[in-house]
Amino acid sequence: MPEPTPLTSRRGLLFGAAAVSAGVLVTGCTSNEPSDAEPTASDRPAADDKPGKPVTIGFAGPQADHGWLNAINDNAKKRAETYSDVTMETTEGSNDTAQQIGQIETLINKKVDVLVVLPADGKALTQVGLKAMRAGIPVVNLDRVFNSPQAYRCWIGGDNYGMGLNAGHYIGEKLKDTPNARVIELAGLDNLELTKQRTQGFDDALKNYPNIKKVARQAADFTVESGQAKMAQLLQAQSKFDALWNHDDDQGVGALRAIEQAGRDDFLMVGGAGALSAFQAIKADNGVLKATVLYPPSMAASAIDLARALGQGKGVGGLAEFEIPTSLTCYSAVVDKENVDQYMSTGFK
């Protein structure tokens, strides 16, 4: 899963502020069901889609062992294919730090024009980012941030703190008239800074609702199996609560299984990330899942837009500056029954 950002916040209408800043003014499909004929965010080129100087982009992404990570790779690939002036050199995704460093060094030796890197470990890969920058190859650092701003030209990623904040405010507004409301939290991996940021945002939002108390928190590890096991423990320990915030829609599949097995339907659930299965459940509105807070993998498509702009020496549409910004944080929009149709085509499997 993604890791910490260089900003105080981090998962928006498609890619939220990042899309607007990058000139990618895209609206989601508004039909009831996604269709192969309907383009997703990654299938549409950015506003500045006129062919320009040929650019070779080296893309070093993650191992696709999680729905969100697979969507990152897919978004990047599809976006590059929309440009006739872009060639993309893609490494085999890896969560092994040493292997990914070797892959990026190969791309440096190939003298690609720009690098887009979602590092398996931002801290561990900082040196190879610095190496690319010193070789004159600008780096777009995607989501998991390098330790030094000298290791990248531009960072784009999600908003972990904002995820928690918006989840907390959504739940808070739903429960603001409920006396002595009780909420629980199914977090991700506690050894990741992103998990701490999501929890902090959630807790900060709940401070605005004095009638609400968080009574339990359990950490899972972003898998279906862990979500099911940890949710079962929470359900056993908490016979009565009013809302659940689950940090990740992949582990949420397991959490929903545990909830169904326990026969519980006496609370509302908010997820996180933007999986297609979550969107479908929200639309059906026949269970506890009522909303999810986005951490949009379409940020990878925006990263390709930014890399192309860097390779062609351009700025981005909608901004007065000649250069692209040094950082772009995607907005963590809340998707519920009222707007789910707008986002359905962006859901990842």
Whether 160-294 and 16-159+297-332 are alike in CATH topology: the answer is yes
Residue 294 bridge partners (DSSP) = 273
SS3 of residue 218 by DSSP? strand
- Hey, what are 64's tokens? 């696709």
255 and 278 Cβ atoms separated by less than 8 Å? no
DSSP class of residue 122 equals T
Starting at the edge strand that comes first in sequence, how are the strands of the sheet with 114-117 ordered? 86-90, 55-60, 114-117, 139-142, 154-157, 327-329
What pLDDT is recorded for position 67?
Answer: 85
Q: Where are the domains of the chain?
A: 16-159+297-332, 160-294
Distance from C-alpha of 323 to C-alpha of 326, rounded to nearest angstrom: 9
93 or 102, higher pLDDT:
102
- What topology does CATH give the domain 160-294? Rossmann fold (3.40.50)
Give me the chain's average pLDDT, please.
88
DSSP class of residue 186 equals E
Of the pLDDT bands very low, low, confident and very high (cuts 50, 70, 90), residue 208 is very high
Lowest pLDDT segment from 89-93, 267-271, 316-320: 316-320
pTM of the model: 0.83
By C-alpha distance, which of 138, 161, 219, 126 is closest to 4? 161
What pLDDT is recorded for position 94?
Answer: 87
Average pLDDT over residues 119-125: 92
Distance from C-alpha of 172 to C-alpha of 165, rounded to nearest angstrom: 10
Q: Which residues of 268-297 are buried (b: 16+ CB within 10 A; e: fewer)?
A: bbbbbbbbbbbbebbbeeeebbbbbbbbbb
The superfamily in CATH containing domain 16-159+297-332 is Response regulator (3.40.50.2300)
In one-letter notation, the amino acid at residue 97 is T
- In 10 A of CB 40, how many CB atoms? 22
